[in-house]
A and B are shown apart, each in its own frame.
Chain A
Amino acid sequence: MEIKILKDILGANEQIAAKNRELLEKNKVFCVNIMASPGAGKTSFVLQTIKALKGKFKIGVIEGDISSSIDAETVAKEGVPVVQINTGGECHLEAIQIQNALNNLPLADIDLLLIENVGNLVCPAEFNLGEHLKVLIASVPEGDDKPFKYPLMFTTVDALVLNKTDLLPYVKFNVDNFVKTIKNINARAEIFKVSCTTGDGVSEWAKWLKSRIK
């Protein structure tokens, strides 16, 4: 006998993500999910964002990694509340892990919560966390063909940050083609070009993020 089901496999995650969103909104917390491949500069980008917006918002951070607390320790030096999630092998963050992390953060004292997802361009795209914005960092050394190789990720995000632009003179990377490709496959995405090493372009990103929060 066949039983029709038609149920979304990730429905359980979606339900928890919706609860996270409710809790965030109750506490007036704006939440950004930052995704990228390993080494694209997620932690540097989190640090730059904290530096740019520290005076304007009370910021909190959730660090997702397979193991270690190196990133959380780095971010904690900025004097912001931070929770480290170790997924223990899982390649992405899920809503339930964020639910636990939210219980360990002083939400009433946070306006802007930055979630640094596990370094991966595949799996994090599938799992909503309850965030208000999904941001993808692509870095110059990764190459300009990545939108075609990881289409789900590139078509899912609200903003795309091209990092390590200070390396453009040394790397074969066609910025115009890259920007054109993103615009073609994701009309919604805002695009920012930054260098977390020199700080170039960070203020444009910070300005846009600020406008989204208010």
Chain B
Amino acid sequence: MHELAITQSMFDIVLKQAEQARAKKVIGINLVIGEMTGVVAQSVQFYLDFLTKGTLAEGALVNLKMIPPKAQCRNCQQTFELKEFDWACPNCKSNGVEIIAGKELFVESIEVA
């Protein structure tokens, strides 16, 4: 839902790094996104196409690495992937969990020419 704000911030980061590297063109943008953030890939690409018009990132393709939500059991420390409506530890069946992955939101790297 807030993909425009996120894409704008991402675009600012990408453009700055590309300019620093004296790149002629940005071909690809590799993002790491936790599934819990609810960021929708198609929306990011849609806004990016719009924002990059006339810049050196025009036509760049977004590549998303989605990180599934993971938790650690507070009781037995087992780590496991969270499934919808089922947050119980597969080892000890405890429901007390700490989220340890799935909230990521960063630019990993860019492909430039």
Contact = CB atoms under 8 A, between A and B. Distances in A.
Interface residues of A, number: 33
B113 A126 contact: no
Interface of B: 1-2, 4-6, 9-10, 12-14, 17-18, 21, 23, 31, 36-38, 69, 74, 82, 84-85, 87, 95-99, 103, 105-113
A33 to B, nearest CB: 16
Interface-centre pick from A3, A94, A127 (highest chain B CB count, 10 A):
A3
Contact of B105 (A3, A4, A9): A9
A3 B109 contact: yes
Contact of B9 (A11, A120, A180): A11
Determine chain A's interface SS by DSSP, over half rule: mixed
A104 to B, nearest CB: 22
5 contacts: A1-B113, A148-B87, A152-B103, A184-B96, A185-B99
Interface of A: 1-13, 90-92, 94, 120, 122-123, 126-127, 145, 148, 151-152, 155, 180-181, 183-185, 187
A126 B102 CA distance: 13
A123 B10 contact: no
B85 A8 contact: no
Contact of B110 (A5, A8, A180): A5
B95 A2 contact: no
Contacts of A145: 85
Contact of B1 (A9, A91, A94, A180): A91
A87 B12 CA distance: 21
A9 B107 CA distance: 6
Contacts of B85: 145, 148
Task: Give the 10 A-B residue pairs with the shortest CB-CB distance, closest first.
Answer: A123-B2, A184-B95, A5-B107, A152-B36, A9-B10, A4-B109, A9-B105, A8-B106, A9-B9, A7-B13
Contacts of B103: 152
